[in-house]
Structure 1
Amino acid sequence: MNQAPVRQWHRISVNSAHHPRLLELGFLPLENVCVLQRSWFKTGALVVQVGDAVFGLRPDEASQIEVHAHTEMLGSLSAA
């Protein structure tokens, strides 16, 4: 998620890490997620929206969440 463009909706990958804290917060596979804002500092936090909730994530937490653009997800699902 660290590399996801700001203000674009993505889907959390099915293969994304399964950290218990992130799962409790709602970062579940195939959930919609959007990076709303990034810190000006390279090692700063990200403000993300998952579902209807907004969270601040540290970079190490965000790096555990693999995301795909909606169009990429649709293509991989139809190919399966």
Structure 2
Amino acid sequence: MSVTTLGIKLDGVTRARLGVVSKKLDRTPHWFMKKAILALIEKVEAGAGIEVLVPVEALAQDTMRHSIARRHAVN
């Protein structure tokens, strides 16, 4: 199995929160992020839609760079 490193941009506040919750669980931030990503993948694979993952109110604030369909519609 090939392994590729992916990057994620986090603001300072989110990065600090990640550090706090990771320490609280006695785990690394990498472990926490990987578990969170895998949990979301499993939800979507089980049939969850975007409305299950993101509150409907927040969807209106979604920017074009976060929606593949919107991004392709503009190009």
When you count helix as a share of all residues, which structure comes out higher?
2
TM-score between the two structures when normalised by the length of structure 1: 0.22
Highest RCO, 1 vs 2 (Cα 8 Å, sep ≥ 6): 1
When you count strand as a share of all residues, which structure comes out higher?
1
From the CA coordinates, give the structure whose radius of gyration is larger.
2
TM-score between the two structures when normalised by the length of structure 2: 0.23
